[in-house]
């Protein structure tokens, strides 16, 4: 019975912890944030949707899960409902589908329920989520076979990279996601890194690279210095 498909909310699993059987999943696709300006004398409108901040931005998305509870008397239903509501209602959670274990959604949960007999009950959990699902693993963490997707997964291993280029530039390629979170570089020595047309100073310890914007596909970083670096990179997709 432990193999029943369900949903994990932070550390709580819908079947193992609550005994709920998943009946239906709805994964909403987030709408693009668009902006059009009407210009006199111009056919159509001027599309400014991608004019700033590096491409298309998206609104929130909705995830909706419908569960059934069996052998659920009215007395048991009241207690179960209170337990689930106490864990979820109005609370932001990290949400992982058993059918997509390599990624998590982040969203605030709301609960609806219906019961019209002494045997079964239906519980619906709706989650207003951020637009992108994010990889469970960061690039500096070991590759886990059980969460890897052989359809769209990419192996990213950027831990303890030796940099040995005192005067020249050593290339390190980083595979970017559709959506990339801020890159962090941990170094055991002072260095420089060049990316596109900009050069940044790297201090000993963790460096949060707010101005270094990664893109989908191959991103070539060039390091100058002697030491080791770890690139902490996490991202996701719609």
In angstroms, rounded to a whole number, what is the distance separating the alpha carbons of residues 11 and 8? 6
CA 205 from chain centre, in angstroms, equals 25
Q: Which pLDDT belongs to residue 97?
A: 97
State the pairing for strand pair 179-180/184-187.
Answer: unpaired
For residues 43 and 58, give the distance between their C-alpha atoms in angstroms, rounded to a whole number.
Answer: 26
pLDDT on residue 76? 84
User: What is the C-alpha separation between 181 and 92, in angstroms, rounded?
Assistant: 19
Q: Are the C-beta atoms of 35 and 50 separated by less than 8 Å?
A: no
Euclidean distance between CA atoms 80 and 82, whole angstroms: 5
In the prediction, which pLDDT does 144 show?
47
This model's pTM is above 0.85:
no
Decide if 229 contacts 161 (C-beta within 8 A).
yes
Q: Is 14 left (phi over 0), alpha (psi -120 to 50) or beta?
A: alpha
pLDDT at 139: 67
pLDDT at 200: 97
Per-residue pLDDT of the chain (238 residues), as tens digits, is 456 899 999 999 999 999 999 999 999 999 999 888 989 988 988 888 777 666 788 999 999 999 998 888 888 888 889 999 999 999 999 999 999 999 999 999 999 988 788 888 899 999 999 999 999 887 655 544 444 444 444 445 788 899 999 989 999 999 999 999 999 999 999 999 999 999 999 999 999 999 999 999 999 999 999 999 999 999 999 9
Query: What single DSSP character describes residue 196?
Result: T
Strand partners, 124: 66, 112
> If you search the block for the tokens 């059987």, which residue do you land on?
21
Query: Is residue 28 within 8 Å of 62, Cβ to Cβ?
Result: yes
Residues in the chain: 238
């Amino acid at each position: 019975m432990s193999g029943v498909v369900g949903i994990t909310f932070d550390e709580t699993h819908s079947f193992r912890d609550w005994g709920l059987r998943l009946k239906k999943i709805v994964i909403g696709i987030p709408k693009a944030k668009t902006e059009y300006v009407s210009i006199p004398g111009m056919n159509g409108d001027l599309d400014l949707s991608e004019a700033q901040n590096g491409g298309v931005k998206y609104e929130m998305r909705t995830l909706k899960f419908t569960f059934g509870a069996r052998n659920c008397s009215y007395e048991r239903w009241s207690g179960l409902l209170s337990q689930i509501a106490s864990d979820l209602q109005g609370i932001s959670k990290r949400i992982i589908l058993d059918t997509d274990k390599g990624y998590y959604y982040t969203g605030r949960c709301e609960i609806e329920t219906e019961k019209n007999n002494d045997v079964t009950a239906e519980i619906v959990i709706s989650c207003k989520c951020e637009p992108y699902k994010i990889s469970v693993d960061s690039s500096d963490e070991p590759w886990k076979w059980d969460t890897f997707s052989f359809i769209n997964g990419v192996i990213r291993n950027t831990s303890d990279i030796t940099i040995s280029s005192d005067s020249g530039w050593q290339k390190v390629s980083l595979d970017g996601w559709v959506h990339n979170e801020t890159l962090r570089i941990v170094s055991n020595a002072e260095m420089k890194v060049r990316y596109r047309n900009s050069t940044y100073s790297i201090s000993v310890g963790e460096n949060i690279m707010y101005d270094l914007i990664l893109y989908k596909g191959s991103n070539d970083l060039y390091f100058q210095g002697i030491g080791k670096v770890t690139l902490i990179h996490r991202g996701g997709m719609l």
